[in-house]
Chains A and B, each alone.
Chain A
Amino acid sequence: MEKKLLLEKVHIEGIRHYDVYRREGGYRSVEKALKMQPNDIVEEVKKSGLRGRGGAGFPTGMKWSFLAKPDGVPRYLVCNADESEPGTFKDRYLMEFIPHILIEGMIVSSFALGSNTSYIYIRGEYDWVTDILENAIAEAKQNGWLGKNIQGSGYDLEMYVQRGAGAYICGEETALLESLEGKRGNPRIKPPFPAVKGLWGCPTVVNNVETLAAVVPIINEGGEAYAQIGVGKSTGTKLISACGNINKPGIYEIDMTITVEEFIYSDEYCGGIPNGKKLKACIPGGSSVPILPANLLLTTAKGEKRLMNYESLSDGGFATGSMMGSGGFIVLDEDQCIVRHTYSLARFYRHESCGQCSPCREGTGWMEKILLSIESGKGKMSDIDLLWDIQRKIEGNTICPLGDAAAWPVAASIRHFRDEFEWHVNNPEKCLTENFGLRHYADPVYVAGS
């Protein structure tokens, strides 16, 4: 059992409340941080090698050091809690069960960045979590961790929770800032980046919930100690929200040295595929990242065992690899239809496209319609190439990454499962009642019933 940093105390009764959290060693990092120089905290985070947990995996310390610091202009820290990626539910768990760790991490981070007002922009559907966070903020304020002159240090910080209105696009950092300003949640055109011109035109850092929570163990234990956990550039622990056809769906904190195989099949984690079925495919990092067939998921193209970390999951590029993403681990067994699955994702992205730039607005709807016609047995062979061409024209040509996120799942499905698409076209009647099954990309290791 590896060391847990974020979820270590999550099962202690009453940890949601300040008294218990404090008794268990909470807010130590704030005490320590307030005695440090803000720049030293940034250095410590740099040393830890912490990478953004929201999906892109950008080094957090580097992101912080990009923050512009003009005189007389306020700076803001915004926590991106608009977790809307299908398959990702790790932030909700963290905020729901151990809200103080986020607030603690945000106080330290705000102090490091010189922000006196910080916001948590939370997904609209998480209404009960909003209440939990607001209670926790009130408790922290009562105990002198927020407000004026925190713990006698002379540092002031106010923290607010803002609920979104249920738009996936508002998880994109500039759309989030627009929404936070009370406008329509359209992504901004970059540059300028939020680090220069963010919330209300002021320098802003936007970080994921898990990233900010990870600052707590980094300050407590030191950046170097944190960097020793994990492997290579994947330091520390990562929350994985596992779902789909597995015996034990849920949130797992892993240290990024375990193999994908162990993660899926060991009883400590997902506990294997239910009903003796075989693994067909998996989306390892939330719905936007490319899907991988079982053989490429478990081993890389070079024949090495694939590990649950940033480098190993993206080994081979998009041709044979995928991405760590946000850690939304979606497992598909042999009974799942890839076409239907891709259609379902395409429908999501069509619905969530903001409609600002034309490739995404028109392309997502077009892909959804073609996928629906293939799925319902009305597709043509040329539709498959057309789909490929459409996704290629969306990818990289849009304002924000939603276009890429919509294109990648379609591209990966066709790349790895083209024969299943062709089978749908060739068997328009059969595809309505039967599934294609596994065929040649069957999980090579685990045979049903063994």
Chain B
Amino acid sequence: MSEEIKTIKVTIDNITIDVAPGTSILQAARMIGGDVTPPAMCYYSKLEGSGGKCRTCLVEVAAGSTADPRPMPKLVASCRTGVMDGMIVKNMTSEKVPEARAGVVEFLLLNHPLDCPICDQAGECHLQDLGYDHGKEGTRYQFARRTFKKEDIGPYIQLHMTRCILCYRCTYVADQITNKRAHGIIDRGDHAAISTYISKAIDNDFSGNMIDVCPVGALTDKTFRFKNRVWFTKPMDAHRDCQTPGCCGKATLWLRGDEVFRVTARKDEWGEVQSFDGKPGWICNTCRFETKQTSSWTIEGLTTISRHSVIGANKYQTLEMPKETVKKVMRGVEPKLLMDIHSVSGVNNPDIHLSEINGPAHSSDFKK
């Protein structure tokens, strides 16, 4: 007798999908992909216990399940709510969700310094994406923003707490993939802060992964700080035979010319570390901070990036236009494509392929 794998049906924004029991609404939405997927600032599928905190992934549950079709009274955090058979979820099609989400974006930006022009995370910052996608123009906040002093936590990482949105991801990394957690959340409320215990240095082989999981520029790589803007660098998939136990050795090198400016873990379309053989591809500090010669790596080729538009040097390989009209599926709701940059701008159609240029592109590289 073959064991039958039971699946359950969930409908998100009028698109029905079969998923395994125990899947969260957010994971189901990610399987559908595209605009149906709620944004997530604190949830990280590779970190156990993460999620539920930022409230950007709030969705409306219009029917709880086939057995109990009552709607849920409040918006729920899709990352931590499991799907039920016959559940009907409204994300983009909900009337309440966009407003609540815009509210959350406003709250998240309330004490955020918006120092993007000098922030190393700019260009690959989830808060920037979130602000553009779901936020409103301007702020109604008229008071001084909360500030903190910059703090060096360990030899490789700088903490700039002012930018932190308290997603707790880095504490989960420290808890789950390093063997000793030396930092955590101190204080509470809007004066809560990430800090090490009495400025204790974080000294651990895998501490660098905290930088990768940080959705904003609160944790930055000290070997890369102010060295370059991410959109001037060219991401290349590469691997090396790393001897550190637990390190997957597969990374993304961020090059400018032949110089490696930065090494990060490989990320998927949701900005999370990719999994290899079912295991998250965390990399060790040796790979990340100390192996910055191209000769130490076997380069596989350009990294394909679909989400963060300013990087990836025009390599939108995974971006596919929907085959059926999204508008019809969404019962009249327009998909949120702000502008097809390819059709209006020559910047993305240079005569020379950007990956072949060393350094920033100049006006002479483009069509007149």
Residues of A with Cβ closer than 8 Å to B? 167, 169, 184, 189, 350-359, 361-366, 369, 386, 393, 396-399
Would you call B111 and A362 a contact (CB within 8 A)? yes
| Residues of the B chain whose Cβ atoms lie less than 8 Å from the Cβ of A396 | 73-75
Report B67-98 residues with CB < 8 Å from chain A CB: 73-75, 77, 80
Q: Could you give 24 example pairs across A and B, Cβ below 8 Å?
A: A167-B188, A189-B51, A189-B80, A350-B189, A351-B189, A353-B188, A353-B189, A354-B189, A355-B185, A357-B53, A357-B54, A358-B55, A358-B56, A361-B190, A361-B192, A362-B111, A365-B189, A366-B107, A386-B140, A393-B100, A396-B73, A396-B75, A397-B55, A397-B100
A399 to B191, CA, bound (A): 18
Convert B152-177 into 0s and 1s, putting 1 for each residue whose CB lies closer than 8 angstroms to a CB of A: 00000000000001101000000000
| Residues of the B chain whose Cβ atoms lie less than 8 Å from the Cβ of A361 | 107, 166, 189-190, 192
Would you call B110 and A355 a contact (CB within 8 A)? no
Counting CB contacts under 8 A, is B125 at the interface?
A: no
Nearest residue (CB) in A for B74 is A396
Would you call A366 and B141 a contact (CB within 8 A)? yes
Known A-B contacts A357-B54, A358-B108; A184 and B185 likewise in contact (beta carbons under 8 Å): yes
Instruction: Quote the shortest CB–CB distance from B55 to chain A (angstroms).
Output: 5
Mostly helix, strand, loop or mixed at chain A's interface?
Answer: helix
| Residues of the A chain whose Cβ atoms lie less than 8 Å from the Cβ of B140 | 386
Instruction: Quote the shortest CB–CB distance from A178 to chain B (angstroms).
Output: 12
Nearest residue (CB) in B for A402 is B189
| Residues of the A chain whose Cβ atoms lie less than 8 Å from the Cβ of B64 | none
| Residues of the B chain whose Cβ atoms lie less than 8 Å from the Cβ of A366 | 107, 110, 141, 143
| Residues of the B chain whose Cβ atoms lie less than 8 Å from the Cβ of A359 | 55, 103-104, 107
Nearest residue (CB) in A for B75 is A397
A369 to B143, CA, bound (A): 8
Which of A169, A184, A189, A362 contacts B52 (CB under 8 A)? A189
Known A-B contacts A184-B185, A353-B190, A361-B190; A398 and B110 likewise in contact (beta carbons under 8 Å): no
A413 to B259, CA, bound (A): 61
Counting CB contacts under 8 A, is B255 at the interface?
A: no
Counting CB contacts under 8 A, is B213 at the interface?
A: no
Would you call B108 and A355 a contact (CB within 8 A)? no
User: Which among B77, B99, B189 has the greatest number of chain A C-beta atoms within 10 A?
Assistant: B189
Would you call B188 and A365 a contact (CB within 8 A)? no
Would you call B75 and A362 a contact (CB within 8 A)? no
A443 to B108, CA, bound (A): 43
User: Which among A167, A169, A399 has the greatest number of chain B C-beta atoms within 10 A?
Assistant: A399
Convert B90-127 into 0s and 1s, putting 1 for each residue whose CB lies closer than 8 angstroms to a CB of A: 00000000011001101110110000000000000000
Would you call A399 and B53 a contact (CB within 8 A)? yes
A404 to B168, CA, bound (A): 23
Which of A355, A364, A397 contacts B58 (CB under 8 A)? A397
| Residues of the A chain whose Cβ atoms lie less than 8 Å from the Cβ of B77 | 189, 399
Instruction: Quote the shortest CB–CB distance from A354 to chain B (angstroms).
Output: 5
Which of A354, A358, A399 contacts B107 (CB under 8 A)? A358
List 4 tightest A-B contacts by C-beta distance, closest first: A393-B103, A355-B192, A189-B52, A362-B107
Would you call A362 and B108 a contact (CB within 8 A)? yes
A356 to B194, CA, bound (A): 12
Would you call A169 and B188 a contact (CB within 8 A)? yes
A138 to B184, CA, bound (A): 38
Would you call B185 and A363 a contact (CB within 8 A)? no
